[in-house]
Amino acid sequence: MKFKLFEKLFLLFLSTMLLLLSLVILAVHFNFKQGLTVYLQKIELQKIEPFTLELGRFFQQQNSWDKLRNQEMWFGWVTHSSLAKTPTTTLTPQSKPSNESLWIDIDRLVIVDNENRPVMGILKSPEPFDFTDEYKLPIKSKNATVGFLIIKPNPLITDLVLVNFMESQLQGYLWIMVFALLLSLFLAFVMARQILSPLKKITAGMRSLATGDFDIQISEKGRDELATLAQDFNFLSRALAQSEQARQQWLADISHELRTPLAVLRGEIEALVDGVRLPTPERMQSLEQEILSLTRLVDDLYQLSLSDLGALTYQFNRLELVSHCQIIIAAFQTRFASRAIQLTFNTQCTNAFVNGDAMRLAQLISNLLENSYRYTDDNGMCRVSLFEEKNHLIIYIEDSPPNVAEEELPLLFERFHRVDKSRHRETGGAGLGLAICRNIVNAHGGIIFAENSDLGGVRIVIELPKA
Quick one: pLDDT at residue 178? 78
Domain boundary assignment for the chain: 5-156, 225-309, 317-465
Chain segment 89-107, per-residue pLDDT in tens: 666 677 777 767 887 878 7
Greater pLDDT, 452 or 155:
452
The per-residue pLDDT for 423 is 42
pLDDT at 32: 74
Does the model's pTM come out above 0.75? no
In whole angstroms, how far apart are CA 144 and each of 59, 94, 236?
11, 31, 90
Q: Do domains 225-309 and 317-465 have the same CATH topology?
A: no
The model's pLDDT over 398-421, given as tens digits with 9 standing for 90+, comes to: 999 888 888 888 778 776 665 544
* Class of 317-465 in CATH: alpha beta
Least confident interval from 92-96, 124-128, 189-193, 197-201: 124-128
415 closest CA partner among 389, 397, 402, 433: 433
**pLDDT reading at 397 higher than 90:** yes
Q: Which residues contact 236 (CB under 8 A, 6 or more apart)?
A: 209
Tell me: pLDDT of 3 over 50: no
CATH architecture of 225-309: Orthogonal Bundle (1.10)
Q: How far apart are CA 440 and CA 426, in angstroms?
A: 26
